[in-house]
Structure 1
Amino acid sequence: MLRLRNLTCGYGRTPVVHGVDLEVGADEVVAVMGHNGAGKTTLLRAVVGLIPVMSGSIELDGEAVNRRPANKRVKAGMAYVPQGQQCFAHLTAGENLRLVADGRKSGKALIDAQLDLFPALRPLLGRQAGLLSGGQRQQLAIARALITEPRLLILDEPTEGIQPNVVAEIESTIVDLAGRGGLSVLLVEQHLGFALQAASRFAVLRSGRVASTGGTGAGAVERVREAMAI
């Protein structure tokens, strides 16, 4: 679904990510981990087209998307949930969802489908998004992204600052969605337990380079800790 080949990217003339190779298969969840400043968010921003690629390639379903603007990548099947439970704070939760659903043939059905995934949002549809808890805003942000019917969902630190019970709900939802088929997930996460439970494979970034990769089965925690030197 997604293939990064020798990807280098950054800001201005300063590279932050250096020569990264990474793949996300169809219906697969892959976690990217690393300390703050390792280049995780920069990597995601390059994938979705928010910063330019300095060298290397980004392929979505076998097609190079390096030169496509962010909106074209969304149309091609990417959806991005940035760090920080971002939403339109002055709009209600329902208006946040309708903003994305309006104009789509089955907009109401798409909203209903996301509310089935995140039932805690149903009684909150009339409340301003800025008044929701961090966990509620994160569920809203993911639901809003899923309304675009992506083939690749890209999540940046979805558990940051969220209570444990909501973390478990988000993890369960991600695993369930990928298990249904038709959706791959690229996940940036520092919560080691969440990342290794939700994903089937991992990559650890250190100073913008891939320090370790592998499956999330037996021994994964030790390999990740060693790569992160923790």
Structure 2
Amino acid sequence: MLELVDVHVGYGRATVVHGASVSVPDGGVAAVLGHNGAGKTTLLRAAVGLLTPTSGRILLDGVDITRLRTNKRVHRGLAYVPQGQQGFPQLTAAENLQVVADAHPAARIDDVLDLFPALRQVLARKAGLLSGGQRQQLAIARALLTGPRVLILDEPTEGIQPSVVAEIEQTITSLTEAGSLSVLLVEQHVGFALAAAQRYYVLASGRVTSTGEGGTEAHDTVRAAMAI
């Protein structure tokens, strides 16, 4: 599915990620864990085409997309939800969804609302007035409207209440178990990440320092690798 192979990437002359390799399983979840400043977001920005690696390759179904522009990657099935529940704050929740649906004729708003039913109650409310959890659900729903094959999530649980974290985990699990989606997840919430992921990668100072199978049994190993 999606592979990042020996990727070196950064900003200007400053390299932030040093030779990281991450593989997202077909119909599964790969979690990248690490502290702030480890290079996690930089790695995701390279995956989606917002940064160009100085070396290494990014492959989608074995095809090299390292130099492909972001919009072309979206057309091939990548969707990116950046950190911070981004959207159009002055538009209503319904208008936020409709903007994406208008650009994707096959999109069905009702389908994503079925995944996040709490959004139905706030469709008429401006996105900027939603709670953090509601904004995150809206951001993920917007990304899913593009019909992605790989969903790239950056810190989806940051600053939101546990009940919404559980709903997001359930949604990710149901979509991947149905075989309709693969997920590349960056997260500091170890419990959430390992519960969702088939494989984890710990990033420190831009390098993968530990990797293994996901699941709650990996919790102690990951915590040790992150030196928590």
Task: State the TM-score, normalized to the length of structure 2.
Answer: 0.98
Match of 2:24 in 1: 24
Structure 1 residue 96 corresponds to structure 2 residue 58: no
1:35 is aligned to 2:46: no
C-alpha deviations, 1:40-98, integer Å up to 9, x for none? 00000000011111100000111111111111100010000000111100000000000
**Sequence identity percentage:** 65
Q: Is the 8 A contact 1:139 1:170 kept in 2?
A: yes
Aligned partners of 2:10 and 2:103: how far apart in 1? 35
Contact 2:150 2:183 in 1 (8 A): yes
CA contact (8 A) 2:196 2:215 kept: no
RMSD: 0.9
How far, CA to CA, are the matches of 1:188 and 1:116 in structure 2? 25
User: What does residue 126 of structure 1 align with?
Assistant: 124
Q: For 1:53, what is the secondary structure of its paired residue?
A: coil
2:152 aligned residue (151, 154, 165):
154
Mapped to 2, the partners of 1:202 and 1:91 lie a distance apart of: 36
More displaced stretch, 142-151 vs 20-29 = 20-29
Shift of 1:218: 5.8
Number of aligned residues: 228
1:208 is the counterpart of 2:206:
yes
2:61 — aligned with what? 61
Conserved in 2, the CA contact under 8 Å of 1:26 and 1:182? no
Runs of 4+ with >2 A deviation = 103-107
Q: CA contact under 8 A between 1:30 and 1:200: conserved in structure 2?
A: yes
Match of 1:105 in 2: 105
- Amino acid corresponding to residue 133 of structure 2 in structure 1: G
Contact 1:16 1:208 in 2 (8 A): yes
* 1:73 alignment counterpart: 73
8 Å contact 2:195–2:215 — kept in the other structure? no
- Can you give the 5+ residue segments of structure 1 that lack an aligned partner in the other structure? none
Secondary structure at the residue paired with 1:140? helix
